């Protein structure tokens, strides 16, 4: 309850920020003479305190899950991250880097150090070691639980600076407030959701901000910083591919629109070359960064930049335009020919690997459904429904186009970037539910521009009126906008009232947004999904803790080298909480192996026994939710087992398990369905 | 040869002179309580000195199998007639005798007043054995109940001549599979009576085996670490780490949750679902969790003036051979446990032992974390324990806190008696950490102010 009221207050306060900023210099003229604080200092104080409040708000609004449940790790993947972090803090970095994990993917094992993005674990371990050094006796679990909220808070700060860079500091503050409570982001960064995304969104926004800053200033230092930001992003999340494609795209757009400049050249080249070299240090990425299809766009744009620069130089050297035209034609054709040839040869010789399935499925939403059932089976890879857009963005969805309008009205290098970021990420968000997360910062920033610009215009309207009454003591501050409005002033008599009404409407909307966000956070996104809570018949809270009961039993009462077979969803949790070897887990790198398990699960018992013997399985874990009405149990997932199993082993056919095309689990179910494991 | 005799003679003299033959036990009554998995034996001995010199020590003999499981031994001397009986606690110490037959072990009871020739004395002895019930069959399924063996001797093992002796064995229910008959043997309900046996010479032994049903929870804490952290700001924080096991017959076959919940009377009778912990009064901020998170099944009946009861359920019902580890933590008001002694030292008065009811602890470690700056710790424990010192670093510690570690094996509920820990502490140390924090913040703000007011740019 405390968190709720506080968050509302904070949000309203923060959204009111630009208005307050503008009023602050008014204030200084009248009353604060005795304080002798300069206007600038006052503004700084206000800005810092608002930002501080937003920072705290972003943190505490994510603590609902801790209050409702407990300080625990949520869902599936975070358990793997937690387990690896634990390993890192116990054994040190070197051991972690060379860790061969024999507890997962049982007969095969998994090279953890080479197949994960270590950014999150290293970050958490670093925070842990720092706190330990400062003599704060915290447990690594608490650090892991609170890593995501902490980075969400940091993201708000980055959002502020980003907003300031592309528009003004008012937009920055609004953006910070928006992103602090936006459900699209909260869904992946509540306390306990210890996943790569929590850190990655911070890194993503930081990289973008630093890059835009580098483009705006042309400074090598900023470009360097953005390369390091990119490095951090690569180390944290596979979504770095988005950066390495968006930035070249942006550069390309700038080139086409004739906005090529030395600043852009410096920023992009430094960022790309250094970022590439740094990214290749991550073992999971390695040479993919120069070889795989997803990264080719960046490289192409890099060479294009060189050609552009070269042409520029030749143009400068050659005074004859005719000669230059001819030269241009030859160079461009030869450059394109060489590029195409290199790409063709590379692809044909296998040096450049083709695009992966996930990447394809992003561009073509129907691809995964037809070809890779394992990607399609994940609920967060489904195309997004309108309702979930509304759920995650609320009024931002309407403010987004308005913000785009403002951006187009005042085009600059920075606004072009945010527009491109917003549009591309919105498309991806439509393709996959989980990518709403990537779109969230862009949506927040663009909406913040809309809100900030609207409120600024409205308040300046109000102020020009009041200022004439006060007899223009502060002339310089209003600037050009006030004078432009002044001419507008005479034409509409009800302008002031209209402005007030619009302002009130805007505040109403914003407060609605704040309430919605708080409600969504507390109701929808704070469930750890390991522990289920329900309301009992008498309104009391009933907690189902059966998952942990099972895992803990495995941990305590099975031989330490027991192998557990379950559907892959539970793999990470079994290794982390049960501390036992699993056959398959959530790192779905080997489709055949998963299909084998799917086959075992969907075969007759005697066949299944054979398969399990061959996999050396000691225990089988199945989840049945029939008693409590828990819907996501193994029966519900069964069709996916059949589909994935059938994808590799044609023995298994989906129609065998269906009755007249329907999936039934009761008496009328298909005979094969009833007799399988 | 000569030297050998020289050594042998004094030993012989010592044995014959000191003990065996001059003491006779006129009447011995033994009551063995097998109702839980902790075996309690009450032994009443009427001892007479028939020798020529006065005797000040009485020997108790235990077979080697029992001595390993002996958790507690207490001897009281009863004086006065019925109704007006008063008991005096007597010192008991383990003794080695060189000619012990079959590795018999001895404990010496030191009498308060030496027993003169012809005098008699009544001794009340209580000893407690753990891990002495052996489940048979070793593995049972969910629907079976648990049967156990108890092995002992029908005759009391003693280095003395016993004139008359009787043994009563109390078992938890009427269900007895079998028991050894050493006539006269009698069974009445849930009690077996062996004896009376007349005039048995020293070291007589007659094996005895009782096979009966015992469905009481065999809860054994294999390892318990209790950490008591003293904060002079008014709190005593206790963290207890349990490694609990069901030491009864191992579970065989599958576990059916449906059967377990629908037919509690027939299914899993030997398993246990919940445990009761008795915590001190005014306990607060109790938590109950394990490595993977909070366990939501616990109830606390807290009370401000009497013992609080914490009922905890492990994540799953414990069947034979299953294990569970968990942590219980709670806070207590400091003024209930920390006092100042007359010489200016402070002392902690805290209960030794395990708060769980009817539980055996195989290895108990108590760690008392003294506040930073405390000096000269010394522990006073009513029974022998191993002691050592450690250092622990907690929040904002610079030099670390002294930790007094007390270790004891084989702890039973009778050991739940207070021990004292004395140390000296200057209250000024309490302020060290707040001052550190305050100065850190002060420095931070000063740095901020300095940053805002000082122009650091190189360019003018």
B390-416: pLDDT as tens digits: 888 888 888 888 999 999 988 988 888
Strand partners, B299: B311
Label residue A37 by pLDDT band (50, 70, 90): low
Give me the sign of the Cα torsion angle B177, B182, B188, B191.
Answer: negative
Q: State which residue of chain A sits closest to B295, comparing Cα positions.
A: A545
pLDDT for res A207: 94
- Which residues from A are below 8 Å from B322, CB to CB? 553, 556-557
Is B395 close to A137, i.e. CB distance below 8 A? yes
Label residue A659 by pLDDT band (50, 70, 90): low
Using CB atoms, pick whichever of B296, B325, B395 lies closest to residue A556: B325
Q: State which residue of chain A sits closest to B250, comparing Cα positions.
A: A557
Q: State which residue of chain B sits closest to A574, comparing Cα positions.
A: B292
Secondary structure in 3-state letters for A111-128:
ECCCCCCCHHHHHHHHHH
Mutate to test the interface with A, among B229, B296, B448 (most CBs of A within 10 A): B296
Task: Please indicate whether residue A616 or residue A184 has the higher confidence score (pLDDT).
Answer: A184
Winning range, highest mean pLDDT, from A16-30, B54-68, B301-315: B54-68
* H helices present in A364-494, as ranges: 367-371, 373-376, 386-393, 396-409, 413-431, 436-470, 479-491
Q: Which CATH number fits domain A543-675: 3.30.70.2860, 1.20.1250.20, 3.40.50.450, 3.40.50.12610?
A: 3.40.50.12610
pLDDT for res A22: 42
Instruction: Name the minimum distance, in Å, from the CA of B432 to any CA of chain A.
Output: 14
C-alpha–C-alpha distance, residues A60 and A9, integer Å: 13
**Mean pLDDT value across residues A278-284:** 88
Q: State which residue of chain A sits closest to B293, comparing Cα positions.
A: A72
- How many CA atoms lie less than 13 Å away from B163 in the CB half-sphere? 10
**Mean pLDDT value across residues A273-299:** 86
Question: Residue A212 corresponds to which tokens in the numbers above?
Answer: 């835009």
Using CB atoms, pick whichever of B292, B396, B398 lies closest to residue A552: B292
Label residue A234 by pLDDT band (50, 70, 90): very high
Q: Is the model's pLDDT at B274 over the cut of 90?
A: no
C-alpha–C-alpha distance, residues A3 and B377, integer Å: 45
Q: State which residue of chain B sits closest to A546, comparing Cα positions.
A: B315
- Name B37's Cβ contacts closer than 8 Å, sequence gap at least 6: B130, B133, B214, B216, B217, B218, B219, B220, B247, B248, B358, B360
Is A552 close to B316, i.e. CB distance below 8 A? yes
- Which residues from A are below 8 Å from B290, CB to CB? 552
Q: Is the model's pLDDT at A51 over the cut of 90?
A: yes
Angle of helix A119-133 relative to helix A140-166, nearest 10 degrees?
110
**Mean pLDDT value across residues A480-494:** 49
Instruction: Name the minimum distance, in Å, from the CA of A549 to any CA of chain B.
Output: 5
What residues of A are in the B interface, CB distance below 8 Å? 41, 44, 69-70, 72, 134-137, 530-531, 543, 545, 548-549, 551-553, 555-557, 576-577
Q: Is the model's pLDDT at A471 over the cut of 60?
A: no
The 3-state DSSP composition of chain A as helix, strand, coil percent (nearest 5) reads 70, 5, 25
- Which residues from B are below 8 Å from A69, CB to CB? 294
Is B294 close to A135, i.e. CB distance below 8 A? no
- Which residues from B are below 8 Å from A548, CB to CB? 292-293, 315
- Which residues from B are below 8 Å from A551, CB to CB? 292
Instruction: Name the minimum distance, in Å, from the CA of A63 to any CA of chain B.
Output: 16
Task: Please indicate whether residue A83 or residue A663 has the higher confidence score (pLDDT).
Answer: A83
Of A129, A148, A139, A178, give the one whose Cα is nearest residue A62: A148
Of A451, A458, A485, give the one whose Cα is nearest residue A23: A458
Q: Is the model's pLDDT at A340 over the cut of 60?
A: yes
**Mean pLDDT value across residues A222-241:** 92
Task: Give residue-wise pLDDT tens across range B61-98.
Answer: 888 888 888 888 888 888 776 667 788 888 888 888 87
| Burial class of residue B453 in the structure, from the number of CB atoms within 10 Å of its CB (0-12 exposed, 13-18 middle, 19+ buried) | exposed
C-alpha–C-alpha distance, residues B54 and B119, integer Å: 9
Is B292 close to A577, i.e. CB distance below 8 A? yes
Of A58, A18, A296, give the one whose Cα is nearest residue A172: A18
pLDDT for res A442: 93
pLDDT for res A259: 87
Is B396 close to A136, i.e. CB distance below 8 A? yes
How far are the Cα atoms of A392, A413, A460 from residue A489, in angstroms, in the given order?
39, 32, 11
Give one DSSP letter per residue of A47-87, joined into a string.
HHHHHHHHHHHHHHGGGHHHHHS-S---SSHHHHHHHHHHH
Q: Are A526 and A68 in contact (CB under 8 A)?
A: yes
Q: Are A599 and A539 in contact (CB under 8 A)?
A: no
Label residue A550 by pLDDT band (50, 70, 90): confident
Q: Is the model's pLDDT at B345 over the cut of 50?
A: yes
Q: Is the model's pLDDT at B3 over the cut of 60?
A: no
pLDDT for res B319: 85
Mutate to test the interface with A, among B229, B257, B293 (most CBs of A within 10 A): B293
**Mean pLDDT value across residues A436-442:** 91
C-alpha–C-alpha distance, residues A152 and A183, integer Å: 12
pLDDT for res B16: 40
Label residue A32 by pLDDT band (50, 70, 90): very low
Query: Which of helix, strand or coil describes residue B275?
Result: strand
C-alpha–C-alpha distance, residues A186 and A341, integer Å: 46
Is B394 close to A557, i.e. CB distance below 8 A? no
Q: For residue B38, what is the DSSP state?
A: S
Mean residue pLDDT across chain A? 79
Mean residue pLDDT across chain B? 84
pLDDT for res A470: 43
Question: Judging by DSSP bridges, how do beta strands B207-213 and B147-153 pair with one another?
Answer: antiparallel
Torsion of Cα atoms, A43 then A49 then A51 then A52, to 10°: 160
- φ/ψ of A300, rounded to 5, equals -60, -45
- Which residues from A are below 8 Å from B316, CB to CB? 549, 552-553
Of A543, A525, A526, give the one whose Cα is nearest residue A534: A543
Q: Are A637 and A597 in contact (CB under 8 A)?
A: no
Q: Is the model's pLDDT at B377 over the cut of 60?
A: yes
Is A556 close to B292, i.e. CB distance below 8 A? no
**Mean pLDDT value across residues B280-304:** 83
C-alpha–C-alpha distance, residues A423 and B376, integer Å: 71
Q: State which residue of chain B sits closest to A528, comparing Cα positions.
A: B293
pLDDT for res A27: 45
Q: Is the model's pLDDT at A494 over the cut of 80?
A: no
Instruction: Name the minimum distance, in Å, from the CA of A141 to any CA of chain B.
Output: 10
Q: State which residue of chain A sits closest to B452, comparing Cα positions.
A: A41
Is B296 close to A557, i.e. CB distance below 8 A? no
**Mean pLDDT value across residues A606-624:** 76
Q: State which residue of chain A sits closest to B324, comparing Cα positions.
A: A556
Task: Give residue-wise pLDDT tens across range B38-48.
Answer: 899 999 998 88
- Which residues from A are below 8 Å from B395, CB to CB? 135-137
Is B396 close to A543, i.e. CB distance below 8 A? no
pLDDT for res A542: 64
pLDDT for res A6: 39
Is A70 close to B324, i.e. CB distance below 8 A? no
pLDDT for res A44: 85
Is B322 close to A72, i.e. CB distance below 8 A? no
Is A531 close to B296, i.e. CB distance below 8 A? yes
Q: For residue B232, what is the DSSP state?
A: T
**Mean pLDDT value across residues A110-133:** 88
Give one DSSP letter per residue of A497-531, joined into a string.
HHHHHHHHHHHHHHHHHHHHHHHHHHHTS---SSS
Task: Please indicate whether residue B170 or residue A475 has the higher confidence score (pLDDT).
Answer: B170
**Mean pLDDT value across residues A12-35:** 44
Mutate to test the interface with A, among B250, B295, B312, B315 (most CBs of A within 10 A): B315
**Mean pLDDT value across residues A330-351:** 85
Q: Is the model's pLDDT at B335 over the cut of 70?
A: yes
Instruction: Name the minimum distance, in Å, from the CA of B397 to any CA of chain A.
Output: 6
- Name B294's Cβ contacts closer than 8 Å, sequence gap at least 6: A69, A70, A72, B287, B288
Winning range, highest mean pLDDT, from A277-281, A283-287, A310-314: A277-281
Look at A57-61, A373-377, B250-254 and tell me which has the smallest mean pLDDT: A373-377
Of A568, A566, A622, A589, give the one whose Cα is nearest residue A108: A589
Prediction ipTM score: 0.76
Task: Give residue-wise pLDDT tens across range A56-99.
Answer: 999 999 998 888 877 888 878 888 888 889 899 998 888 888 88
Is B315 close to A553, i.e. CB distance below 8 A? yes
Angle of helix A591-602 relative to helix A638-648, nearest 10 degrees?
120
Question: Residue A587 corresponds to which tokens in the numbers above?
Answer: 């790192």
- Which residues from A are below 8 Å from B295, CB to CB? 545
Q: Is the model's pLDDT at B11 over the cut of 60?
A: no
Q: What is the number of CB-based contacts under 8 A between chain A and chain B?
A: 55
**Mean pLDDT value across residues A475-499:** 53
pLDDT for res B332: 92
Instruction: Name the minimum distance, in Å, from the CA of B108 to any CA of chain A.
Output: 43
- Which residues from B are below 8 Å from A44, CB to CB? 452
In chain B, pLDDT over 70 holds for what percent of residues?
94
Q: For residue B355, what is the DSSP state?
A: S
Q: For residue B334, what is the DSSP state?
A: G
- Name A300's Cβ contacts closer than 8 Å, sequence gap at least 6: A248, A339, A343
pLDDT for res A664: 56
Of A543, A79, A538, give the one whose Cα is nearest residue B313: A543
Task: Please indicate whether residue B290 or residue A179 has the higher confidence score (pLDDT).
Answer: A179
Task: Give residue-wise pLDDT tens across range A390-429.
Answer: 888 888 888 999 999 999 998 898 999 999 999 999 998 8
**Mean pLDDT value across residues B30-41:** 90
**Mean pLDDT value across residues A604-615:** 77
Label residue A375 by pLDDT band (50, 70, 90): low
Q: For residue A421, what is the DSSP state?
A: H
Delimit the domains of chain A by residue range: 37-194, 195-353, 384-462+496-518, 543-675
């Amino acid at each position: 309850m405390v968190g709720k009221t506080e968050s509302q207050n904070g949000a309203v306060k923060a959204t009111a920020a630009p208005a307050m900023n503008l009023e602050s210099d008014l204030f200084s003229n009248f009353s604060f003479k005795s304080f002798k604080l300069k206007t600038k200092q006052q503004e700084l104080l206000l800005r810092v305190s608002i930002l501080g409040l937003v920072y705290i708000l972003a943190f505490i609004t994510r603590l609902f899950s801790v209050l409702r449940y407990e300080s625990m790790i949520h869902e599936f993947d975070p358990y793997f991250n937690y387990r690896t972090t634990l390993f890192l803090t116990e054994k040190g970095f070197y051991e972690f880097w060379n860790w061969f994990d024999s507890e997962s993917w049982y007969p095969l094992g998994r090279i953890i150090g080479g197949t994960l993005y270590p950014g999150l674990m290293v970050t958490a371990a670093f925070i842990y070691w720092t706190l330990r050094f400062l003599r704060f006796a915290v447990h690594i679990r608490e650090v892991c639980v609170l890593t995501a909220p902490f980075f969400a808070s940091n993201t708000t700060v980055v959002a502020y600076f980003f907003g300031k860079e592309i528009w003004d500091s008012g937009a920055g503050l609004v953006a910070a407030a928006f992103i602090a409570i936006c459900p699209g982001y909260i869904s992946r960064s509540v306390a306990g959701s210890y996943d790569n995304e929590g850190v990655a969104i911070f890194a993503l926004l930081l990289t973008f901000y630093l890059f835009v800053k580098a483009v705006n200033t042309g400074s090598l230092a900023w470009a360097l910083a953005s390369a390091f930001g990119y490095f951090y992003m690569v180390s944290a999340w596979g979504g770095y591919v988005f950066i390495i494609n968006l930035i070249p795209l942006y550069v390309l757009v700038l080139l086409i629109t004739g906005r090529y400049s030395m600043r852009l050249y410096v920023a992009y080249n430094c960022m790309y070359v250094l970022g590439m070299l740094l990214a290749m240090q991550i073992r999971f990425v390695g040479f993919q960064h120069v070889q795989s299809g997803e990264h080719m766009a960046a490289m192409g744009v890099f060479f294009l930049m060189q050609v552009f620069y070269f042409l520029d130089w030749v143009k400068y050297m050659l005074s004859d335009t005719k000669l230059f035209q001819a030269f241009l034609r030859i160079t461009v054709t030869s450059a394109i020919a060489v590029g195409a040839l290199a790409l063709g040869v590379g692809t044909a010789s296998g040096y450049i690997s083709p695009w992966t399935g996930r990447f394809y499925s992003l561009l073509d939403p129907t691809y995964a459904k037809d070809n890779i059932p394992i990607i399609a089976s994940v609920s967060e890879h489904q195309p997004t429904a309108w309702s979930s857009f509304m759920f995650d963005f609320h009024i931002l969805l309407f403010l987004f186009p308005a913000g785009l309008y403002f951006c187009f009205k005042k085009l600059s290098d920075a606004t072009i970037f945010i527009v491109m970021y917003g549009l591309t990420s919105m498309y991806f968000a439509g393709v996959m539910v989980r990518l709403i997360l990537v779109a969230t910062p862009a949506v927040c920033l663009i909406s913040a521009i809309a809100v900030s610009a609207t409120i600024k215009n409205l308040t300046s309207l109000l102020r020009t009126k009041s200022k004439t009454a006060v007899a223009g003591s502060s002339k310089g501050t209003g600037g050009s906008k006030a004078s432009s409005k002044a001419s507008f002033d005479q034409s509409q008599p009800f302008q002031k009232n209209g402005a007030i009404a619009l302002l009130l409407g805007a505040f109403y909307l914003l407060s609605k947004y704040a309430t919605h966000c708080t409600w969504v956070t507390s109701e929808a996104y704070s469930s750890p999904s390991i522990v289920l809570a329900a309301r009992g018949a008498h309104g009391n809270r009933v907690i189902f803790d059966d998952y942990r009961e099972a895992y803990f039993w495995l941990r305590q009462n099975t031989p330490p080298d027991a192998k557990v077979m379950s559907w892959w969803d539970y793999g990470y949790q079994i290794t982390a909480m049960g501390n036992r070897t699993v056959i398959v887990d959530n790192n779905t790198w080997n489709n055949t192996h998963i299909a084998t398990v799917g086959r075992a699960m969907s075969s007759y018992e005697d066949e299944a026994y054979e398969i399990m013997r061959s996999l050396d399985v000691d225990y089988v874990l199945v989840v049945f939710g029939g008693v409590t009405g828990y819907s996501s149990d193994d029966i519900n997932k069964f069709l996916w087992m059949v589909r994935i199993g059938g994808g590799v082993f044609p023995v298994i056919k989906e129609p065998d398990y269906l009755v007249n095309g329907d999936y039934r689990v009761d008496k009328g179910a298909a005979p094969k369905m009833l007799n399988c494991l | 040869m000569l030297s050998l005799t020289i050594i042998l003679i004094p030993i012989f003299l010592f044995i014959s002179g000191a003990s065996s033959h001059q003491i006779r036990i006129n009447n011995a009554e033994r009551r063995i309580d097998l109702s839980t998995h902790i075996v309690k034996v009450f032994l009443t001995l009427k001892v007479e000195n028939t020798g020529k010199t006065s005797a000040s020590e009485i020997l108790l003999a235990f077979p080697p199998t029992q001595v390993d499981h002996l958790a507690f031994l207490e001897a009281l001397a009863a004086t006065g007639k019925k109704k007006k009986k008063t008991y005096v606690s007597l010192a008991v110490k383990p003794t080695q005798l060189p000619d012990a037959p079959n590795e018999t072990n001895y404990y010496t009871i030191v009498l308060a007043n030496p027993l003169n020739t012809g005098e008699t004395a009544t001794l009340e002895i209580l000893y407690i054995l753990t891990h002495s019930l052996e489940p048979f069959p070793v593995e049972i399924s969910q629907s079976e109940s648990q049967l156990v063996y108890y092995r002992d001797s029908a005759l009391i093992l003693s280095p003395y001549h016993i004139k008359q002796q009787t043994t009563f064995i109390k078992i938890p229910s009427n269900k007895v599979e079998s028991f050894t008959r050493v006539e006269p043997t009698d069974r009445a309900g849930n009690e077996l009576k062996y004896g009376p046996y007349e005039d048995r010479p020293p070291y007589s032994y007659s094996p005895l085996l009782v096979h009966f049903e015992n469905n009481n929870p065999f809860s054994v804490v294999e390892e318990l670490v209790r950490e008591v952290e003293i904060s002079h700001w008014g709190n005593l924080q206790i963290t207890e780490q349990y490694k609990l096991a069901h030491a009864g017959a191992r579970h065989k076959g599958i576990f059916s949750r449906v059967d377990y919940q629908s037919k509690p009377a027939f299914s899993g009778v030997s398993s246990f679902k919940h445990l009761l912990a008795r915590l001190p009064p005014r306990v607060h901020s109790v938590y109950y969790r394990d490595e993977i998170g909070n366990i939501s099944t616990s109830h606390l009946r807290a009370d401000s003036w009497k013992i609080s009861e914490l009922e905890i359920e492990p994540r799953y019902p414990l069947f034979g051979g299953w294990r569970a580890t968990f942590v219980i933590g709670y806070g207590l008001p400091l003024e209930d446990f920390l006092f100042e002694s007359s010489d200016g030292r402070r002392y902690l008065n805290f209960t030794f032992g395990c708060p769980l009811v009817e539980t055996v602890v195989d290895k108990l470690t108590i760690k008392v974390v003294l506040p930073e700056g405390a000096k000269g710790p010394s522990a006073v424990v009513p029974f022998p324990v191993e002691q050592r010192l450690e250092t622990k670093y907690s929040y904002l510690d610079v030099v670390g806190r002294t930790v007094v570690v007390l270790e004891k094996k084989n702890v039973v509920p009778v050991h739940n008696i207070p021990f004292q820990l004395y140390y000296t502490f200057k209250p000024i140390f309490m302020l060290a950490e707040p001052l550190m924090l305050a100065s850190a913040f002060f420095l931070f703000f000063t740095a901020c102010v300095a940053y805002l007011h000082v122009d650091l740019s190189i360019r003018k």
